Amino acid sequence: MVEELLHSQAGILNFGIFFLLAVVLLFVILGFVTYAILAERKVMGFMQLRQGPNQVGGRWGLLQTVADVLKLLLKEDTIPKLADKPLFIIAPVIAFAPSFIVMAAIPFTDKFQFADLGVGLLYYVAISGLTTIGMLTGGWASNNKYALLGGMRAAAQMISYEIPLVMSVIGIVLLTGSLNLNDIVAAQENVWYIVLQPVAFIIFLIASVAELNRVPFDLPEAENELVAGFHVEYSGFRWAMFMLAEYVYIFAMASLTTVLFLGGWHPLFSFLGFIPGAVWFALKFMCVFFLLLWFRSTFPRIRADKLMEFAWKILLPIALANIFLTAIIKEILNLF
């Protein structure tokens, strides 16, 4: 459907259709973010022997996030006197926009997807890198040393961990022979890549947690070291934009992990094929998401001086070795 739309003529009607689709996706994502935050607080609460939110919206606190967001939107919009105003205002937009643009390339099922890009994987990595600029801009424009330190850390960390992230995926690209996410899912019809590329999966998981700025790699916003990192001076809906970007990236990254390693919408066993692909995708997606929450409530923050060493001296060599091995094995298999 989208394919036809993309090739149709430009006009008011088509613009309207695209706009409407984007708004629908935005609302789906906002709904996810609302309940992702609740799920995070609930799971963390249970893992720390607490109840988590249970007051607003009944026994399970179903309206807690709605109330929180409402509070954020009603808060006064503060801008520091000596801040770089235009940059300060545009930074949350720069941080959030790529996270939403990225969603276009992810195939949720064989029907439900927006853009079937030939270089889908590259597109994801390239666009998601732009968020770093938003964070750095926010940190710089705040005119606050903690914010600047947080922004610098964010930039350093996200750029270094992007490299092992991409390198770990190259094994998959070699095996599939394509950067198209649809082709990658199609290649996993029989065996998922988590079985064929377990090392790549572990590297990808670690690097993706670091990319998402989550515990144990949450140094850019370490509360007890930097107050709050690059968004110290932000409050109200500007701060909400940063948080929204973070959670949309969790959505995108969990989807990407599902697509790359867990076989996308393919069922676990072929005899379970009667269950629709969307359910399979949602199940795998939720497993990945739970893993992120699980990590958050288990691991302590990694030390700042070990962070870079870990990316460059451990993850990158392993990822490179993995590419090398994959290439050799593929060549040997091709001989026969």
Partner 1 sequence: MLGFGLAKGLKYTLKNLTKEKPTYEYPKEPLPLPDRFRGIQKFYPEKCIVCNQCSNICPTDCIQLTGKKHPDPTKKGKIIDTYDINFEICILCDLCTEVCPTEAIIMTNNFELAEYSRDELFKNLEWLDENDESVRKVNKP
Q: Which of 46, 56, 276, 330 binds partner 1 (CB under 8 A)?
A: 46
Question: Which residues, at least 6 apart from 162, have a Cβ–Cβ distance to it below 8 Å?
Answer: 125, 129, 207, 211
User: Cis bond leading into 92, ω under 30°?
Assistant: no
Q: Is 306 in the site for partner 1 (CB under 8 A)?
A: no
Q: Is 43 in the site for partner 1 (CB under 8 A)?
A: yes
Structure tokens given for 33: 């973010």
Segment interacting with partner 1, rule: CB under 8 A, options 39-47, 66-74, 231-239, 247-255: 39-47
Q: Which of 15, 19, 35, 294 binds partner 1 (CB under 8 A)?
A: 294
Q: Which is nearer to partner 1, 47 or 268 (CB)?
A: 47
**CA atoms within 13 A of residue 311's CA, in its CB half-sphere:** 23
Q: Which of 10, 11, 48, 270 binds partner 1 (CB under 8 A)?
A: 48
Which residue, chain included where needed, has tokens 């990319």? 211
Structure tokens given for 74: 């009603």
How many whole angstroms separate alpha carbon 169 and alpha carbon 174? 9
Segment interacting with partner 1, rule: CB under 8 A, options 62-70, 157-165, 297-305, 327-335: 297-305
Number of residues forming the site for partner 1 (CB under 8 A): 12
**CA atoms within 13 A of residue 143's CA, in its CB half-sphere:** 10
Q: Is 299 in the site for partner 1 (CB under 8 A)?
A: yes
Segment interacting with partner 1, rule: CB under 8 A, options 147-155, 242-250, 290-298, 323-331: 290-298
Letters for 84-103 (x = contact with partner 1 by CB under 8 A, - = none) are --------------------
> At closest approach, how far in Å is the CB of 323 from partner 1?
22
Of 6, 238, 222, 234, nearest to 113 (Cα)? 6
Q: Is 60 in the site for partner 1 (CB under 8 A)?
A: no
> At closest approach, how far in Å is the CB of 47 from partner 1?
4
H-type helices in the chain, by residue range? 2-7, 12-47, 64-74, 85-102, 120-128, 131-141, 145-176, 181-186, 193-196, 198-211, 223-226, 236-261, 277-298, 304-309, 316-335
Q: Is 49 in the site for partner 1 (CB under 8 A)?
A: yes
Q: Is 297 in the site for partner 1 (CB under 8 A)?
A: yes
Q: Which is nearer to partner 1, 104 or 203 (CB)?
A: 203
Q: Is 12 in the site for partner 1 (CB under 8 A)?
A: no
> What type of residue sits at position 91?
A
> At closest approach, how far in Å is the CB of 293 from partner 1?
10
201 in Cβ contact with 193 (< 8 Å): yes
Q: Is 133 in the site for partner 1 (CB under 8 A)?
A: no
Structure tokens given for 183: 């082709």
118 in Cβ contact with 98 (< 8 Å): no
Segment interacting with partner 1, rule: CB under 8 A, options 40-48, 234-242, 253-261, 323-331: 40-48
Q: Which residues bind partner 1 (CB under 8 A)?
A: 43, 46-51, 294-295, 297-299
